[in-house]
Structures are given as C-alpha cells and as structure tokens.
C-alpha cells in the first residue's frame, strides 16, 4: 500500500536544464517516455504520494512547460540564470520555507522513473536514523557522467564529488557507488547551509552536492541509502539514454500486465503508456501501441499493427492496422482492418466499422454497420443502420460543420453522398449513387441521380 505524506513534505523538481546533449531545442524534461514528458512522471509520483507541495524549478523553455502543465504552473519557479543545481535550490528556498513542511525531497528532472518504493525507503530510513540530509545512491559498472559518493572507513557519506572534480589522490579510489540526484533534507537543517555554497569547482557553478560536505562540516547526520544496481535511478542526458530508459519502462509495464492476467503476444513490440488500464482476459498482439488514458476491457482482442490513444474498448475486436483516438467502443463491436476512428467517435454495442472506414465525432448506433470504404463525420446514427460502400457524409461547407441524422433501420446504398445538415427518416432507403441534399421522410425511398441514357453512335474508326 502506498504511503501518504501530506503537509510535512514538500518536493522540488530541478527542471531548468537545457539538455544540450539531447541535441534538441526542447527543455530536457519535455522529452517523452511512452508519450509522456519526463516531468510528468515525477509530478505524478509526488502527487500520488500526497506531498503538500510539488515545486518545479524551470528555466530554458519554461513557457512550453507552463503550457504543457497548466494545473501545476502556479508552483513553477523560474531560474532566470542557470548557475547550477545549488543555485536552483536557492531560488526555490522562499517557497520551501513558506510551505511550512518539515522535510524536503529534491529530484533531478532527468531521473523521471524513481519509484515511490525507493522514495519510501529513503524517507523511512532518514526518519528512523534521525538524519539531517540523505541521498539515494546506486551502483554502476560504468560510472561515466555521475558524481561519485565518497564514504569514510566507517561507511558514512562524507561527500559527493562531480566526475570532473574527482581526484583519486584526494578522494581515494573511485567506488562503483554514484549519486542518483535524489535527496532528502530536514528543512531546518537545510536553512543553515543552503546559502554557504560556493562555485569553487571545474564548472564554476553552485552544486547541490556541496551541501553534503557543508553538513558534515557542521556535524550534521548525513545518510546514504543505496538502491544497488537500480535502472530506474539512471539519469537521462542523451538520446541513447532516453530510449534505453523508455525501453526499461516499456518492458516493466508489459511484464506487470502479463502478471495481472493480460495476454500480450509478441510482447517486445507492444508499447503501453503509464496511464493505460487493461483488464485481465484482454488479448493483445504486437506490434501495437496503446497510450494516454485508454481502457481495454476483458474479452477485448487487439490484433497487430494497431494504434490506440485515450480510448475505451469493451469486449470487442480490433483488427489489424486500425487507428483509434479519443473514441468510445462498446461491447461486441468490430473495428477494421485499416479503420480510423477519430476523436468523438462512439461505437455502440454490436456496431461495426470495417476496412478503410473513417469516422469522426459521430455515434454509430447498436448493431449498425459501416462496412467499408466510407467516411462518417459529425453524424448521429441510430440502431440497425446499414451504410453501403463508398458512402460519405458531407459535413463541412467550407466554413461551418453540419450534422447528419440517420434514424433506425435505414439502408444507405453504395456510393452515396449525404450533404449535411440532413435527416434520413427511420426505415428509409437511399438508392445507390445518390446525392442527398434534403431530408428523407420515414419509410421512403430516396433516389437522387440523373437518368441513364445510352447513346448509340457510329464508331468513326470502324471500316465501312
């Protein structure tokens, strides 16, 4: 069970970096893992742990972050000059102090996958030990790019030294223990040392790691909690590290769902976002991508090469090469192959959208069928309607969108154009090849096409 922390805890996420090694103009924390920005993961974790405040120190590209996270932007703190992680914490200090919290967690924005379990471990050991400052460390075979954790002979953490500043003659042989960028502070202890930072280092920046040395100098209790070889604590600084962490997360989500009763075939090619919910008894075959706040109910079968985002699917079959976005699919529905459901689509029980069908902002009634080669937009369709091949609803007049109403048990012949706004009355038929521009009464046959004429003429090329 997740522990909740409440008013005694505040979090600061350091998200001001440019991320030059990502070779992108985006702020680093806007880079995505399974269609979610890195910053989203940390905000979500601290929100679920019920931290009283979740402060975000932003800098480069802060306007993009504010637009992406409108509900959190009031807790954004702009670091106008990027003078180091220590300076970022100093910029956040007034908000930390005014929060009234006793404990502060600081997380680097480029370590998005830290779990609440590891945070719980750090917090509980910190409180049990009565420590003033603590950090999560990990052990890596290759430590390039990470600050080194320096311990004394008794095993106490004495310092964290950045890679560029590490001197084996001064600090001793480098161990495999490195800094994860996750810290915890007793707020009252932090107040004593936060403004004693200096820039006497290779980068000429204020490092948050110097707080460890300053705390030791004042005989504060510093605690280092090792998470071992823990992939979730690895930072993301390059495109290669980004895709590596995304693959770690993808595999973790897929394996968890399999353990909960979801059948996932060709699992290495299935990508499922962190908000997706899938019930036991669903059957998915990769390659397949499911993102956003999607829900897949028990009994649903999703075939290969499908893309699903922010949609709900109940006990239905999604055939190959279908694209579904912000749609609601009820029970016993069949979609595809090669179907596209755009935002606002509702497929009622027993309905069908067949091959090469596109539907947008429309409801397809119970047991109604749009079998193939059709476009249905801005339409309200009742039950047991049959739409013939090649049918389109002409919903846009160049300036405004209009709706088409198709009542129950209507039969629309192939290659028909329904020019909205228009209503087709129940139990009516529309002849194939018609262009319907006026309402069709109930139980009527509508035919709107010119009479066929066969003109017989001599073939000028035929010899007499």
pLDDT score for 288: 98
191 inside domain: yes
Q: Percent of the chain at pLDDT above 90?
A: 78
pLDDT band at residue 146 under the 50/70/90 scheme: confident
Question: Are 214 and 257 in a shared domain?
Answer: no
- Mean pLDDT along residues 90-96: 96
Query: Looking at residue 197, what DSSP letter applies?
Result: -
165 inside domain: yes
Tell which phi-psi region holds residue 79, choosing left (phi > 0), alpha (psi between -120 and 50) or beta. beta
Question: Are 246 and 151 in a shared domain?
Answer: no
Question: CA 105, CA 5: separation in Å to the nearest integer?
Answer: 11
**Cis amide linkage into residue 287, ω under 30° from 0:** yes
Q: Check whether 107 has a pLDDT greater than 80.
A: yes
Neighbouring-strand partners of residue 289: 271, 307
Question: Are 123 and 38 in a shared domain?
Answer: yes
Question: Are 151 and 86 in a shared domain?
Answer: yes
**Residues noted as catalytic:** 372
Let me know: does 35 contact 49? Beta carbons within 8 Å: no
> Of the candidates 97, 159, 157, 171, which has an alpha carbon nearest to the alpha carbon of residue 125?
157
Question: pLDDT by residue (tens digit) across 387-443?
Answer: 999 999 999 989 999 999 999 999 999 999 999 999 999 999 999 999 999 999 999
CB count in 10 Å sphere of residue 239 = 13
453 inside domain: no
- The better pLDDT of the pair 169, 442 is held by 442
Q: Provide the b/e sequence for 441-459 (b: ≥16 CB within 10 Å).
A: eeeeebebeeeeeeeeeee
The C-alpha angle with vertex 420 and arms to 415 and 421, in degrees rounded to 5, equals: 145
pLDDT band at residue 86 under the 50/70/90 scheme: very high
Question: Are 298 and 385 in a shared domain?
Answer: yes
- What lies within 8 Å, CB to CB, of 459 at 6+ separation is none
Question: Are 308 and 401 in a shared domain?
Answer: yes
* Domain extent at residue 101: 6-228
Q: Are strands 369-372 and 386-387 parallel, antiparallel or unpaired?
A: parallel
Q: What is the CATH number of the domain that holds 89?
A: 3.90.550.10
Question: Are 224 and 187 in a shared domain?
Answer: yes
Q: Check whether 201 has a pLDDT greater than 90.
A: no
Q: Number of folded domains in the chain? A: 2
**Cis amide linkage into residue 337, ω under 30° from 0:** yes
Question: Are 305 and 199 in a shared domain?
Answer: no
Q: What is the CATH number of the domain that holds 254?
A: 2.160.10.10
Question: pLDDT by residue (tens digit) across 219-266?
Answer: 999 999 999 889 999 989 999 999 999 999 999 999 999 999 999 999
Question: Are 57 and 144 in a shared domain?
Answer: yes
Helix (H, G, I), strand (E, B) or coil at 368: coil
Question: CA 200, CA 217: separation in Å to the nearest integer?
Answer: 17
Question: Are 210 and 262 in a shared domain?
Answer: no
Q: Check whether 464 has a pLDDT greater than 60.
A: no
Question: Are 86 and 212 in a shared domain?
Answer: yes
């Amino acid at each position: 069970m997740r522990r909740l922390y409440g008013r005694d805890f505040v979090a600061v996420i350091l998200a001001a970096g440019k991320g030059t090694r990502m070779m992108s103009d985006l702020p680093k924390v806007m880079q995505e893992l399974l269609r979610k920005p890195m910053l989203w993961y940390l905000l979500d974790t601290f929100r679920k742990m019920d931290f009283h405040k979740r402060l975000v120190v932003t800098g480069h590209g802060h306007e993009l972050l504010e637009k992406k996270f409108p509900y959190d932007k009031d807790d954004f703190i702009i670091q106008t000059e990027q003078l180091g992680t220590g300076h970022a914490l100093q910029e956040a200090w007034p908000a930390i102090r005014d929060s009234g919290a006793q404990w502060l967690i600081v997380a680097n924005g480029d370590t998005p996958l830290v779990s609440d379990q590891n945070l719980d471990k750090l917090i509980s050991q910190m409180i049990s030990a009565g420590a003033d400052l603590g950090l999560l460390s990990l052990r890596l075979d290759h430590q390039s790019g990470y600050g080194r954790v320096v311990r004394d002979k008794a095993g106490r953490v004495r310092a964290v030294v950045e890679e560029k500043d590490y001197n084996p003659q001064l600090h001793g042989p480098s161990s495999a223990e490195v800094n994860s960028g996750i810290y915890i502070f007793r707020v009252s202890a932090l107040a004593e040392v936060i403004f004693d930072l200096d820039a006497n280092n290779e980068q000429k920046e204020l490092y948050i790691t110097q707080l460890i040395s300053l705390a030791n100098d004042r005989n504060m209790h510093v605690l280092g909690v090792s998470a071992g070889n823990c992939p979730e604590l690895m930072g993301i600084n390059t495109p290669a590290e980004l895709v590596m962490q995304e693959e770690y997360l993808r595999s973790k989500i897929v394996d968890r769902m399999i353990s909960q009763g979801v059948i996932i075939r060709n699992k290495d090619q299935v990508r499922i976002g962190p908000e997706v919910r899938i019930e036991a008894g669903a059957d998915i075959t990769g390659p397949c991508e499911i993102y956003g706040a999607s829900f897949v109910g028990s009994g649903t079968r999703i075939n290969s090469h499908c893309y699903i985002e922010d949609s709900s699917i109940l006990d239905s079959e999604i055939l190959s090469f279908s694209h579904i976005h912000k749609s609601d699919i009820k029970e016993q529905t069949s979609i595809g192959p090669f179907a596209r459901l755009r935002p606002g689509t509702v497929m009622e029980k027993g309905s069908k959208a067949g091959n090469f069908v596109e539907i947008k902002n429309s409801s397809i009634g119970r047991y109604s069928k749009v079998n193939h080669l059709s476009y249905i937009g801005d339409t309200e369709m009742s039950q047991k309607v049959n739409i013939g091949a090649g049918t389109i609803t002409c919903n846009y007049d160049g300036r405004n969108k209009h709706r088409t109403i198709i009542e129950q048990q209507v039969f629309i012949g192939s290659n028909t154009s329904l020019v909205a706004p228009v209503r087709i009355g129940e139990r009516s038929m529309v002849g194939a090849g018609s262009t319907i521009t006026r309402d069709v009464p109930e139980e009527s046959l509508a035919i709107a096409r010119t009479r066929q004429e066969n003109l017989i003429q001599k073939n000028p090329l035929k010899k007499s």
